Chain A
Amino acid sequence: MTFINYVAREINCKIVYYGPGLGGKTTNLQYVYQITNAENKGKLISLATETERTLFFDFLPIDFGQIRGFRTRFHLYTVPGQVFYDSSRKLILKGADGIVFVADSQEERLDANLESISNLAQNLQEQGFDIAKIPYVLQLNKRDLPSALPVEELTRHLLIKGEPVFEAVAPKGDGVLPTLKAVARQVLIELRKSA
C-alpha cells in the first residue's frame, strides 16, 4: 500500500524481492545497503537463522530523493525462499506495491524458479492481487556461474508478461541497481495513474 503523507510530504512504497532459496535476494539488499549514502538509508534488518538463511524477512528502507517536493521512500523486503516458509511469504507480500523476482540462472535451479513464480502468483491471488497488473521486474541472477542457462532460454521459461529483465551478479552489484530502479519506476508510474 502506497502511503502518501502530506504533512511530512513523503511518498512511501513497499517492494518485495521474491524468488527461490539461495537465489540472491538478501545479497541484492546487502549491495543496495553497501552503496547507499548513510543519510539515504535506514538499518538493514535481517531475521535469519543461525546459518544465515532468511527466516522471516530482510528489510531496508531507502530514500530516493524528492519529486515535486515529496520525499520518495521505498521499503525493500525479501521473503524467505525455502519452500516450507510459505506462511511467512504470504505475510510479507501484504501491502506490496511492486515485486522483484530474483531468479537463479543455474540450470539445476530452473524448476525451483518455476515453482517459486507459481507460488508467487498464487499468494498474490489469495490477497486479491493480480500478477499481471502489479509492478513486476525479473532479475536473472548468478550470470557469472558456469551452469547459467542462456538468457533466451531462461526468459522463455520465466517471463510472464513482458516485464523488464535484468542480468545480475548480485555480490558484485551487477544489475542490482537497474533492477531496483526499474521496479521503482513502475511503482511510481502506477501511483501517478491512480490520481
Chain B
Amino acid sequence: MSHGAATLGAACSVSSNTFNLHDLEYQRIQTVLTRMQKELRAQLVLLINRSGQPIVISGPAENIDCTALASLAAANLAATDGLANIVGEREFSVLVHQGRQRSLFISDLLKRFSLVLVFDASASSGLVRYKCKRTILLLEEIIQEFQRKIEKEEPVTGIPQFTDEELEELLR
C-alpha cells in the first residue's frame, strides 16, 4: 500500500504500509513482556499497533478477548490524543483505568505501538508505572535496533505471492 509514509521498523520489516513480524524480534519482545508479566503478576500484557491489532501477547488470555481489547485500547489512546490536542497538550501518553478487581494500563510506544497491561487492581500503581516505563524503554530499544538493521540490510518482505486463482478461492 502506498498511502502513508512508514518510516519505522518495528519488530518488523517495513514495506510502505505493511509491517512484518519475524521470529527473532517476536522472541525478544515476548521475553520482555513475559518478564514484566511475571514481575507484576499481571493477567495479561500486550504489544499492539495503533491500528488496534495485537502483535505479541503474554499471559493466560482465556477470559479476555485480546482482539477486542487491542481494538478498544488503540481507540482509547487515539481519542485521548484528540483530547490532549483540544486542551493544548501534545499528548497524554499514559492511560490508567482503575477497576475493582482488574485495572488497565495503556501507554504509547514510539507513536506507532502501545503497551497494554491488565493487572490486579490491588497492585501498587507506582510499581506498575515504573515497570511499564522500564519495559517500554526495552521495547523501544529492540524496535529501534531492528530499524537500524533493516536500514543497513536488504529489507525482508516475504509477502506471500498468491495467485489470482488462490485469491478467488479464498473469497469464494
A-to-B contact residues, CB < 8 Å? 1-7, 11-12, 14, 42-43, 45, 47, 56-57, 59, 61, 64-70, 72, 75, 87-88, 91-92, 94-95, 97, 124, 127-130, 133-134, 181, 184-185, 188-192, 194-195
Chain B 148-163, CB-CB to A under 8 Å as 1, else 0, gives 0000000001111110
Check A94 against B78 for contact (C-beta < 8 Å): yes
Check A7 against B17 for contact (C-beta < 8 Å): no
Contact of A7 among B21, B49, B160, B162 (CB under 8 A): B21
**Cβ-closest chain A residue relative to B23:** A7
**Cβ-closest chain B residue relative to A7:** B26
Chain A contacts of B157 at CB under 8 A? 194-195
- Nearest chain B CB to A158's CB is how many angstroms away? 21
B-to-A contact residues, CB < 8 Å? 1-6, 15-23, 26, 49-53, 55, 65, 67-68, 71-72, 75, 78-79, 82, 157-162, 166-167, 170-171
In whole angstroms, what is the CA distance A63 to B12 when docked? 22
In whole angstroms, what is the CA distance A95 to B111 when docked? 12
**Cβ-closest chain B residue relative to A178:** B171
In whole angstroms, what is the CA distance A188 to B162 when docked? 9
Chain A contacts of B51 at CB under 8 A? 1, 3, 14, 75, 94-95
Chain A contacts of B3 at CB under 8 A? 124, 128-130, 133-134
Q: Given A42-B68, A192-B161, is A5 in contact with B21 using a C-beta cutoff of 8 Å?
A: yes
Check B1 against A190 for contact (C-beta < 8 Å): yes
Check B71 against A45 for contact (C-beta < 8 Å): yes
Task: Count A-B contacts at CB 8 Å.
Answer: 143
Q: Given A64-B170, A184-B171, is A129 in contact with B4 using a C-beta cutoff of 8 Å?
A: yes
In whole angstroms, what is the CA distance A38 to B1 when docked? 30
Chain B contacts of A94 at CB under 8 A? 50-51, 78
In whole angstroms, what is the CA distance A69 to B40 when docked? 36
- Nearest chain A CB to B19's CB is how many angstroms away? 6
Q: Given A91-B75, A97-B17, is A67 in contact with B49 using a C-beta cutoff of 8 Å?
A: no
Chain A contacts of B52 at CB under 8 A? 14, 59, 75, 95
Check A91 against B79 for contact (C-beta < 8 Å): yes
A-B contact pairs, 16 of them (CB 8 A): A4-B18, A6-B22, A12-B53, A43-B65, A43-B67, A56-B79, A66-B170, A67-B167, A68-B162, A95-B4, A95-B50, A128-B5, A129-B4, A185-B171, A190-B1, A194-B157
Q: Given A14-B51, A45-B71, A67-B160, is A2 in contact with B18 using a C-beta cutoff of 8 Å?
A: yes
Chain B contacts of A4 at CB under 8 A? 18-21, 158-159
Check A191 against B1 for contact (C-beta < 8 Å): yes
Q: Given A3-B53, A4-B21, is A97 in contact with B170 using a C-beta cutoff of 8 Å?
A: no
